[in-house]
Each structure stands twice: as structure tokens, then as C-alpha cells.
Amino acid sequence: MDINNNNSYNKNNNNFVFTDAKGNPISYAQGNKIHNQDELKLKRNFKSQFNAVLKKNVTYQWRQRKNNACLLVNIIFLVVFMCIINLIVKVYLKDYSTPAQLHPYAGLPSLYLTNSDKCIPKMYPESLFYLDHVITNTNATNEIINNIQQSEQPIGLIFGQSLLGKASTFCKVGAQSLIYPLTMEKIDSNVTQLNDEIFHSWRRLSIMGGYDFKSINNENLELTIVFNKTLTRYKDLPTLFQLVTHAYNSLIGSNSNFTSIVYDGLRDVPHGKIEPNFDLVSLMGPMLYMFIFQMPLPFILKLLIYDKETKLKDLMKMMGLEMKTYWISNYIVSFLLYFISIIFLWAIACLLGFKMFLNNAAIVIFILILAFGHLLVSFSFFLSVFIDRYQMGLYFGYLWVLFTGLFTNNVIHDILDSKFTPESSVFAISLVPAFLLYRGLLGLQNGALIEEITLDNWNDRDYLMKDVIVYMVIEATIFLILALYLEEVVPSKYGVKRHPLFIFKKSFWFKKFNEPITLRPILEGEGPDVHAERDRILNNPQIKALEVLDLNKTYGTKQAVKSLALAVDQGICFGFLGPNGAGKSTTISCVSGLFQPTSGTARVLGMDIRNHFDRISMVLGVCPQDNVLWEDLTGEEHLLFYGRLKNINGKRLKEAVDASLKSVYLDTEAHKMVKQYSGGMKRRLSIAISFMGNPKLVCLDEPTAGLDPATRRGIWNSIKEHKGKCAILLTSHAMEEVQELCDRVGIFVEGEMKCIGASHELMSRYGEGYKIKVSIQPDREQYVTHFITSLVPGARITHSMNNIIQYQLPRSDSVKLSVLFREIQLNLDVGIIDYGISGTTLEEVFLKVCNKKYNEA
């Protein structure tokens, strides 16, 4: 098959070799040039991979629709619950509207002294008076008036926020002036004009109140205090009266002939008809919406952790998926999960007339929703680093929503509401996404109760919405960067993590320039065939499917792989044998890019895994030890996904998937979801996945472990179908499987390759010779043994029971099978009923190599 004018693709002895015009083998990595058309497919295609992950995620989420519907049901439940209560309260409040008043009547002033611990926060000295709620005709009122009037020093007063709103202030004992509760401004209009003006603009709520000084001289202080009841939320401002009188008294000082105060009382500003403005949803809003806005968190955590827990993320990575594409696609799906639920909430809220959503500019609400969405998703990414089980993620998510909701309502609300809270505390609180959301929701609430938030006023003192949104964007960015960094370094059950300072290492930034590693020609203590393997790698210029060059892998203090040297030719199936814990899976994980070798490296088709893993993964297929599948996707959907990862699209993809399903006998089960598959079917699907996209090297980690003989044979057939088209690295504990499938075998013990070669070579090299099993007549053991040892000197009994004896013949060229057969056949009368001769099995070689190791130890 000519690829282009210069290069060709030859198939010799089942070996596929890319060669240049002169017939020299070429590596995919050589010179960073594209050598042939096929090589183009080595490049990861962002569009194709993004399409694959997005389609898979959307299909998977659609299958999770029952679970996802819970999210919407939770939202509906909370909203409907609030609506019902709101409705009941509104019906009850219907008769409480206040008619329009151009000249509202004056009311009685009153004062309330409290300096008990109960009402005064401990931080205030007891000599300060705290003025807040209004109670008329109490002794406390008289007491405070007396105190104020008789005091020679200014009296310390604290005005409760509920009395004066945000304009309240606080005056220390000994201060020169008493208090400046409201900004004073002289208005050049008389009371009537002022009344008219206020009456027409009272809804704009810009006037908090005023003093009307009717007559002021050394003997008289006549004033009216006007205040805006709507703005001050139904609180009287009686204290203003006292303040002004006292201030006046202080001002005129000892010259005072102050004899009378004409008191006109307090009255509301002129206003139009006031309907009861009670909106429970707005009042409860921040807390209610806290729950709703954060409700997607557990669902997003589940989505992120599931792939990690089930090792699907690792497999996708090994099969060529670029992590950047994975994160972007997951980010989008998570964001959509949040966004759809919040838009749904918005729609319901508008339908039901919730003021927080209706009385504020839609653009401001939309920006807040977007900003918090990004923060929530980034925060979920961050949390997912520390959680290994998706069930745990779900529980944690729900607890977080509940806890932050309740905590905000009971603690954070008070802290944020107090004007004594220093900016630094507000900043610290804002670092927690849930509390920052609360600040944003408080802004919306204030907008609903005071004045619509628009892009013009969104950073006014009462809303600070712009600040909140900027905080959200900054925090989202920080959480995302932290998540991506911690994902690489925080220890977890899955995958091997990097050094915390990896970004400061040169190899991180310049990994394309990792020095080539030359295999050591000889290593002390290695057997002759392992030496020969090193020679083969060093002296054979042909590009191999896989070359492992002095690969070491250490987990903490455990050295799992020790200076492994191995080459697998193209088109060859290499069997990797070894006892449990020998390091076979670790080798596959290093070769397939899941783990970074501690030292040494591997080359796939001439490309170094340290420098070209992005290309290697496109020609790599992996079937891990456990089935790593999405339970809620069908077999066909799995293959479509992995096919797209490998840049196969359109008609070719459909054909490849059909062929793949057929090759593992799953074509009739293609549309069943994996959760309905049996263990054998899942295993067959895993194998089909590993061969998807015509990989050049396939790693099969115990492909038939735990399967019945019939299924095992089926899987062997599918592997045989692919054999020759690519190199296969197969680990197994089943000797007959290795004998059946593998051209070469390596036995690996405690991280070291002990022997390597074709199975028959190993059997003859490590085998002890032939065995004869004879069935004898009773009491003839002595005669038969004499006969066998006379025939083959050195033959010894290895097993004798129930007149069946097994003899081990010495390993010697002098033992000729044909002679043995003939002699036994002629001398059956020594007492032999039946007999059989067998050679050394691979299992015996395996046991011998392993036992040798253990005996040495």
C-alpha cells in the first residue's frame, strides 16, 4: 500500500513496517514530520474528541433523566411550598392597605431604652443607650428623656439599624456632637411645596425624612419631623426629636432661657396608596434561593466523580482522549445541568410573580446566574479532587447545600447585616461560594424591596451586585486553576500523582525535549535470554511496536517494575506471565501512559511515551483488568464514542462499529444497555473497545479472567481475528490461553523479567523432560519401575496412587520418543495396562521459574 511517493507500508511475515523510499524503517516520531497519510490520524482532533465526549455525556445524562428530574422536582417543591404560604399571608393582609395621604397625621413619639444584655450586643459599653424598637408610654422612655436632658455630657446613643435603616450611626460617649442620623439638607421650599413634591415622588423612595423647624429661638424650639415610613420599613423615628432638642439645647448652652418645646409629633411623608408589600418569597428569598441555586451541586459532583471512581477517565485518557477536551466538555455539561435548572426556576418565579425576579432588571439577574454557575461548577471541580466515591460526593453535596443554607440564615445573615462587621470579615465570608451567593441574593432582595437593580445602580451601597459578580468570576477562576492543579498532585486511590512542585520542573515545560534513553547492554544477574532480548533491542534497527527501555516504577518504597527491557514486534502477540503482584499491570499502565515511569521509558512505534504520548494514545488500545464501562450506555454507544476519539467519523464509524460488534459476537446485543450485559458480554465489549480504531499496539490485561470456557474460547477467537494486524501485549494467569494466543512469552516475577522467548523455547529450556504416566496391574509397581529405569536410566517416580504411576524422565537428548513408545508397547506384560507420554507444559515452566525465585528468596 503506497502511502505517498516516498514512503510505503509493507506487510512481511505478519509484521507491519513503515518504510521510507529506500526501505529503511521509519518512526512516526522521526523529525516531527508527517511521513504518510495514516500519520495524520495520530494527531488528536479536538473537534472530533469534543464531539465524542459531548455526545456521550448528553446521552448518559439523558439516561439519568429520572435522577436529574429530582433536581427539578426539588426546585418545584421549594417554590410551590413558598407560594402556598405566600398566598395564605397575602389573603390575610388584603385589608391592610393604607390610603393615600397628602398630610399625614402626626403620631406620638416614643423612646425605648434598653441596656440589658438581651438586646445590647456585648460589644457596646453599658453606658451607651441603644434605641431601636418603639414602645410608647414606658418608664424607660421617660428615663432616657431625663437622662438626655439632664446630662451635662453628650449622651452616647446607638441607633439600631431597624430604627434608622442603613443610615443609622453610632456616637461614642464624649463625642462633641451627638449624632448625625440622617444627612441634613436645607431645602428652599416651604412645607406645602415639599409635601407636594414628596407626594408625587414618594415611590422613588429617595427622601428618608426631614425636619421642619417652625420656630427656633432661645426660648422656643418648634419642629416637626417628617420621615418616610416606607423607606424605614414601618419604624418610627421618635428619637430624632429628642436628638434635635438636645442638640439645640447644647448649642445655645448656658445662654439658654429654654422654657418650652412645642412638639408636633411625628408623621409620615405624604404618600400615595400603600398596598401591603408583604412578599414572603422575597423575605425568605435569599435562603430559599440559596437551596435552589446550589441544588445542582450534588448532581455535578456525581457526574465528575463517577468517571474517576469507575476508572473511565483513566481509560479514556489511555485511549487517546486529551484531558483538556475532557474537562471542557464536563464543564459545559455541568454548567448546562445548573443552567437549565435555574432558568426553569426563573421561569416559574416570573410566572408566579416572585418580586426578586420581577422587580429587578433581567440582565442583572442573568449575569448573576451566569457568574454563580461558573463559580458552582469550578467549586464542584475543586471538591471532586478530594472525593473518591460518587455516592460520597452526592451525600457531601446535599449536606453542603443544607448546611450552608441554614448557617447562612442563622449566622452569616446577621454578620453581613451588621454595619459593624469589618470589611475584612465580609471579604473572608465572601470566599465561600455559598455565602457569596447569599450576598448576591441579598442584593436582589433589596432590589425587590427598595428599588429595581439595573446596570446603573447595581453597585449601590444596598446591592453591591457588581462587586459580588466580580468576586464570583475571580473565585471561579481560582477554584478552576486549583482543581486542575490539585487533580495532578493530591493523592487519591486512582492514578499516580505528580510531585507538588511539578510545574517548576523543566521536564513539565519542555517535555518534548526529554533526552533519549539508551538501553543498558547488560545488567548484572539477568538470565541469558533476557540479555539476548537487550541485544535484540539494541542491534535491530527495525521499528518495533513496543520497546521497553530499562523501565522502573516505584510506588513509595515498593519497586513494582525493575529495569524491564522488552521488545514486541509489529504483528506479534506477546504473553506476559507472572504471579499476582509481579508488576504486569503496572507495566501496562506505564506503557499506556496512565502512570509515569520512575525512570526509563518505553517507545511505541519508535515514539517515546514521555514525548509523544498524545500521538501514541491514538494508536493504542487498552483492555484493563476490570471492565471499565458506562452502565447506562449501550454497547454500540461505547464503540461509537471510542471510535470518535480515534478520529473515525461518518459512514466509516458506523461500519467500524458494526464490524467490531460482530467480531465479539455482540451484534445482536448492540442496543442493550451495559447494565443488562452478562460478565462475559461486558468482557467482550471491553475487548472490542480496545481494538476500536485499528490500533497498532493493544494491551489486554487478563482478558478472560473469571469467564467460563465457552466465553473464553469466543474471546480467543476475537483476539485471533485481530492478531497480525497489530501487536498485542497480553497478561494472563491462564497458561493454555498464552499457549493458544501468544507468539512470545515473558515470565515476570517481583518486577523482574526472568525469562523470555517463544513458548516452545521456554518449555525446552526450562522443562525437565518428558513424563510417562502408566496404569499398572495391582502389585506390579516394582516390575514396571525396574522396566522403565532400565529403559531410561535416571527416570524417577514423581507420583504414585491407585496403581497409577508418573515417571519424570531426565532432560536428555538420548531419550527418543519413538524408541520409548516401541519398547513399552512390546513389554506391556511387565504389568502395564495403559500408558501416556507428555512433554513439559508452560505451567511447569512458570512454576519452576517462580519457585526458583521464591526458593532463592
Best CA proximity match to 433, nearest among 473, 386, 388 = 473
Cα 202 from Cα 6, distance rounded (Å): 86
Q: Is 583 in the site for ligand ATP (CB under 6 A)?
A: yes
Nearest CB to ligand ATP, comparing residues 495 and 769? 495
Nearest CB to ligand ATP, comparing residues 519 and 582? 582
Nearest CB to ligand ATP, comparing residues 564 and 788? 564
Residue 664 contacts residue 684 (beta carbons within 8 Å): yes
Q: Is 137 in the site for ligand ATP (CB under 6 A)?
A: no
- Considering only the stretches 266-274, 401-409, 460-468, 584-592, report the one whose residues sit in contact with ligand ATP under the rule CB under 6 A: 584-592
Three-state DSSP at 568 gives: strand
Q: Is 557 in the site for ligand ATP (CB under 6 A)?
A: no
State the cell numbers at 752. Answer: 523482574
Q: Is 854 in the site for ligand ATP (CB under 6 A)?
A: no
Q: Is 724 in the site for ligand ATP (CB under 6 A)?
A: no
Task: Provide CB contacts within 8 A for 666, sequence distance 6+.
Answer: 635, 681, 684, 685, 688
Task: Provide CB contacts within 8 A for 447, sequence distance 6+.
Answer: 356, 359, 360, 364, 453, 463
Q: Is 280 in the site for ligand ATP (CB under 6 A)?
A: no
Q: Is 560 in the site for ligand ATP (CB under 6 A)?
A: yes
Cα 503 from Cα 362, distance rounded (Å): 43
**Closest CB 561 distance from ligand ATP, rounded Å:** 7
Q: Is 558 in the site for ligand ATP (CB under 6 A)?
A: yes
Q: Is 706 in the site for ligand ATP (CB under 6 A)?
A: no
- Considering only the stretches 530-538, 544-552, 554-562, 635-643, report the one whose residues sit in contact with ligand ATP under the rule CB under 6 A: 554-562
Residue 576 contacts residue 587 (beta carbons within 8 Å): yes
- Considering only the stretches 264-272, 299-307, 578-586, 613-621, report the one whose residues sit in contact with ligand ATP under the rule CB under 6 A: 578-586
Nearest CB to ligand ATP, comparing residues 625 and 739? 625
Q: Between 585 and 624, how does the x/- string for binding to ligand ATP read (CB under 6 A)?
A: xx--------------------------------------
**Closest CB 562 distance from ligand ATP, rounded Å:** 11
Q: Is 578 in the site for ligand ATP (CB under 6 A)?
A: yes
Q: Give the strands of the sheet with 599-604, arranged side by side.
A: 558-568, 546-555, 599-604, 607-608
Sign of CA dihedral 24, 30, 32, 34: positive
Task: Please select the residue that binds ligand ATP; options are 500, 581, 836, 839, rule is CB under 6 A.
Answer: 581
31 to each of 26, 40, 602, 617, 618, how far by Cα in Å?
10, 15, 18, 19, 19
Cα 115 from Cα 148, distance rounded (Å): 15
> What burial class does residue 18 get, using C-beta atoms within 10 Å of its C-beta: 0-12 exposed, 13-18 middle, 19+ buried?
buried
Nearest CB to ligand ATP, comparing residues 284 and 312? 312
Name the phi and psi angles at 71, rounded to 5: -60, -50
- Considering only the stretches 137-145, 468-476, 537-545, 555-563, report the one whose residues sit in contact with ligand ATP under the rule CB under 6 A: 555-563
Q: Is 582 in the site for ligand ATP (CB under 6 A)?
A: yes
**Closest CB 702 distance from ligand ATP, rounded Å:** 7
State the cell numbers at 578. Answer: 507472572
Tell me, by CB under 6 A, how many residues bind ligand ATP.
12
Best CA proximity match to 104, nearest among 209, 2, 16 = 209
Best CA proximity match to 686, nearest among 60, 677, 671 = 677
Task: Please select the residue that binds ligand ATP; options are 518, 539, 580, 802, rule is CB under 6 A.
Answer: 580
**Closest CB 623 distance from ligand ATP, rounded Å:** 13
Angle at 454 between CA 450 and CA 455, to 5 degrees: 145
- Considering only the stretches 69-77, 285-293, 523-531, 553-561, report the one whose residues sit in contact with ligand ATP under the rule CB under 6 A: 553-561
Name which of residues 621 to 640 contact ligand ATP (CB under 6 A).
625
Q: Is 794 in the site for ligand ATP (CB under 6 A)?
A: no
- Per CB under 6 A, residues contacting ligand ATP are 555, 558, 560, 578, 580-586, 625
